[in-house]
Amino acid sequence: MPKLKKRQQVELKIEKVAFGGKGIAFLDDFVIFVERTVPGDVVQARIKKIKKSFAEAYPVEFIQRSPLRGKAPCVHFEHCGGCRWQDIDYEEQLRFKRAHVLEVLKHIAGIKETTVEDILPAPQIFGYRNKMEFSFAEKGWLTPEELQNEHIQKTFALGLHVPGYFDKVVNIEYCHLQSEEMNAVLNFSREFFSASGIPVYHPRTHQGILRFLVLRQSFSTGKIMVILVTATDLSEELSEYVEQLQKKFPLVASVYNGINSRPAQIAAAETYLLLYGEPVLYEKIGQFQFEISPDSFFQTNTLQAKNLYELIHQYAGVQDDIVWDLYSGTGSIAIYLAEQARKVIGFEIVEKAVEDARRNADVNGISNCEFVAGDVRHLVGDYKHVPPRVLICDPPRSGMHKDVVKTILEIAPQRIIYVSCNPATMARDIALLAGAYNVRKVHPVDMFPHTYHIESVVQLERQ
């Protein structure tokens, strides 16, 4: 290990990329993770953290920019935390993502390269998100260049966070990840609330009212849901805002005031008050229709979600089987498989998601899906009397609890389809199943272009 000190500057060449979007450099074979870098970058980096087997650093100067870099279309790219790879050619982004999935699976689960399929690219790399969350700030973030200009003052902001700062917001006038209509609603909302006199909530003092603007849009109907999250009930004061939205934006189908009095900086609300319009949006994926309420979990890339579900359907190969769907959310995967299944049982800890799943099954006329609310690791033991032939598992980023893995090994389904947004925990869980299951296929799926995030679908067969 080289002698390193905090805040020491070193020249580094970035060799690889790690999950999380950080570049990997080596100093005398010692690993250093460097934020906001990609392979080919040569940087003067400052050490900020030193561990036994690695260090972390950030670039203070780019000596040479990677030839993989181009010009990002977004003017906010340098300072916004939304999409760190927007200046990288899309084919290279896909290569980075597949390489990371492969590397993690090799080292943790011993998976051979031939098992990992080519990554499934997104059908649309801009304007693909059906949901965006924007934060209010009393004074927006200024770039170093703007700070040098005495004529530019910090002003009211509505936008996205500066990477690493929960209380600093970049004013976003146009986000390339959402539709033109959503951008128009964003800019109108900024203009309206800037002039309204309603105080902005401050995440440090916990004073103020305006917190978040959440926009959701159905790709099948084009309709938009506007959710204004505030610290207190603002429904009576929002009549003019609602009226203006109705006049200016015909696609706005519903407006909610979400109330979040908790200090945590999250855009979810404790209560949602419908101020105007329809209580839900309707989205169609394949032949199925899904209801989307203000707090529904739903894949944020509608077009790629269809491809993801089709892939799961193909890998599952359900033929009049009993299917378990662990961490079933709002039931979209279960509903996609129901037509070929004898019965699908979905297990989900969030009661509201279970209610949504039951309603979505009813909307689609599906009667062979049962959705159960509770902790998955406790529930699965209660259903051993109806063991599945096919098991779908789509856990949170933390992966499966060891008790869930133990139960899966006991009930021994013929086939497991593991869906993951975290390659490391996916590889860990696959390794735990390795004594009883063979990995047949691993298929990475790009749900989030211009970010390091990657989804994977794994097909495992009982030995």
For the annotated catalytic residues, the residue numbers are 421
Q: Answer positive or negative: Cα dihedral of 426, 122, 302, 169.
A: positive
Torsion region of 206: left, alpha or beta (phi above 0 gives left; psi -120 to 50 gives alpha): left
CA angle 325–439–298, rounded 5-degree value: 35
Instruction: From 244, 167, 240, select the one nearest 200 (Cα to Cα).
Output: 167
Closest CA to 134 of 203, 196, 187, 213: 213
Angle made by CA atoms 81, 86, 92, in degrees to the nearest 5: 130
Spatial distance between the Cα atoms of 187 and 169, rounded to a whole number of angstroms = 15
With b meaning 16 or more CB within 10 Å and e meaning fewer, what string describes 159-178? bbbbeeeeebbbbbeebbbb
Which tokens hold the place of 237? 């004061």
DSSP percent split of the chain into helix, strand, coil, nearest 5:
25, 30, 45
Residues in the chain, total:
463
Angstrom distance (rounded) from CA 426 to CA 409: 16
Decide: residue 154, CB within 10 A, 0-12 exposed, 13-18 middle, 19+ buried.
Answer: middle
User: What is the rounded distance in angstroms from the CA atom of residue 28 to the CA atom of residue 255?
Assistant: 57
> Is the distance from CB of 458 to CB of 434 less than 8 angstroms?
no
CB atoms < 10 A from the CB of 122, how many?
21
Tally of CA atoms within 13 A in the half-sphere of 337 that contains its CB: 34
Distance CA 17, CA 37 (A): 8
